Amino acid sequence: MIRSIRANKRGFHTVTLRPGVNLILADRSKTAGDKDTTNALGKSTFIEIVDFCLGNNTSPNTGLRVEALEGWAFTLELTIAGEDVAVTRATDAPGFFEIEGQTAHWPVTPELNKEGLSGLDAKKWRAVLGWAFFGIGELAVNAVYKPSTRSLLSYFVRNQAAAYNTPFKYFDNQNTWDIQIHNAFLLGLDWKKAAIWQQLKDQKKALAALKQAIKTGAVDGELASLGELEAERVRLSNQLEREREALSTFRVLPQYREIEAQANGLTAEIHEMINSNIVDKRRLDRYRESLSGEDMPTDTRLEALYAEAGIVLPGAVVKTLSDARNFNSKITSNRRDFIASEVAALEGAIAERETKVVVLTTRRANYLATLAGQGALEELTQLQDLHAASRLKIDKLTNRITQLRQMTTKADTIKVETVELKRATTRDYEERREIRSKALGLFSEFSESLYKAPGRLVIDIGDTGYKFDVEIAGSPSEGISKMKIFCYDLTLISFARERGLGIDFLIHDSTIFDGVDPRQRAHALELAGTMATQYGFQYICTLNTDMVPAKDFSADFDFESLVRLRLTDTDPSGSLLGIRY
């Protein structure tokens, strides 16, 4: 039970609480104008201080850790495991919780800090609260998914607007596993089943990521299926075998490059001689044509030409023509002798080259025969590199195939385990019928106290785990939505006390009554009082005075006796902290 909240500043209004219903009211003074408000008096700050002292996570420049509250320290006096203690947490040193009171029986005992104060760090303080309130001190220590003290407390101290949107969540982006585990724990179900469900989801997610990685990094594009990968491995294996055979028959010739150069030189020389023979043969053909087409002139040919023209040549001219004829005959004879000698020379040169080509061709063939089946060292190295690359590709492909087979097997295993988990959860659900029926009955009873027809707390088991819902007959108004949360929270605290858990307080902000009909507000507060007395817990609620349904309370309900603090808007001193910030 929370006994009081105080601070180290004089302006703070200390709040003393009692068993049963405790109300913190924000009054609107008679002198307040239209622009005055009761929204900054400290109603939500009160809840935030309680949560702060109960070890909530804080960040700089948010919540109570703002510049205006530097130097502040808040103290929460409460009963833990039957002993009264006081815990103090400073805004300037939020990681340390000063502890006063009897702590010898705690699972974690306070230690002195550098300033000589006895206390615990945040982790150890939360461990103490988990042990005292929920009995989870030694619960699933090494489990990844397990009930958290802070998460469980968030259902009993709803400390932000998002906590009033749905009964089963205390913030908007709460993970599904978080919702399932903590609500299962609070409703007496096997929360470990929800943890296993999340583990199976994680495995399924990891397999999906692995499958995408295999698909993205597959050989020759996107080879996603096992058949495609197997076919590619066969192709690469055949290629690898051919490369292995080539390597096994490969011989390294040390003088390979030298012999290769000599063979290339012979090839160039042979080509040069063949080209020279082609040129000489063309000249030889022209010489032979010249000899066969040229005739010696006859002795009387020139005279016959003159006679035909009717011209008589004198004797001196005839003698001169005779000399010319002799000179021309000599020239022709000399030319024939020259061409004949040229023909003989060309024929000799051609024959000599052809003989040399045969010799060089034979020598080159010997060189090529030496090179055949052997190669240079760098060629061997290149073949070895290609072979190694092919082997690496096959190894990678084999790994992908192995992974895909394992992934397929694992996927099937997950499906089977999910089905088995659903069956086991259903069996456990039936075995806990008596326990859960108590929780379901409490919700039905509470909702019927507020509305004519009883509501229903629904617990289903689907393919993805526990599913929770609440139903209250009526229009889907904001008021009914808020009362679903009220009834659910009242169920949780009553059920916790019924089961013997140490948590013994439930705290709501005025948001819980937004849009709620005054009659239901009155019924809700009276119901909270009745259940608090019956099950031994505190119900703490902050309200604006104008939200109090004074006219709708039962005659025997003493509302004024439940008010523990009135905050006013007359001036800053009327607020919880005594200041406005």
Half-sphere exposure of 159 (CA within 13 A, CB side): 23
The residue assigned the tokens 């490059």 is 257
The runs of H, that is alpha helices, within 432-504 are 433-450, 478-499
- What is the pLDDT, as a whole number, of residue 36? 41
pLDDT in tens, 417-449: 999 999 999 999 999 999 889 999 999 999 999
With bands split at pLDDT 50, 70 and 90, how would you rate the model's confidence at 495? very high
- Least confident residue range of 204-213, 517-526, 530-539: 204-213
- What is the pLDDT, as a whole number, of residue 220? 42
Q: Is the pLDDT of residue 176 over 90?
A: yes
Stretch (H or E) spanning 118? strand 118-121
Q: Is the pLDDT of residue 279 over 80?
A: yes
pLDDT in tens, 124-167: 999 999 999 999 975 445 678 999 999 999 999 999 899 999 99
The runs of H, that is alpha helices, within 293-314 are 301-308
Question: How far apart are the C-alpha atoms of 522 and 450, rounded to whole Å?
Answer: 9
pLDDT in tens, 216-236: 654 344 545 777 777 877 887
- What is the pLDDT, as a whole number, of residue 266? 77
- What is the pLDDT, as a whole number, of residue 524? 96
For 273-287, b/e burial (b = at least 16 CB within 10 A) is beeebeebeeebeee
- What is the pLDDT, as a whole number, of residue 317? 62
Percent of the chain with pLDDT over 90: 54
The token pair that represents 115 in the structure block: 């300033």
Q: Over the chain, what is the mean pLDDT? A: 85
Helices (H) and strands (E) in the chain, counts: 13, 15
Question: How far apart are the C-alpha atoms of 427 and 380, rounded to whole Å?
Answer: 69
The runs of H, that is alpha helices, within 508-569 are 518-535
Q: Is the pLDDT of residue 194 over 60?
A: yes
pLDDT in tens, 64-77: 999 999 999 999 99
Q: Is the pLDDT of residue 80 over 50?
A: yes
The token pair that represents 186 in the structure block: 């609070």
Question: How far apart are the C-alpha atoms of 167 and 151, rounded to whole Å?
Answer: 14
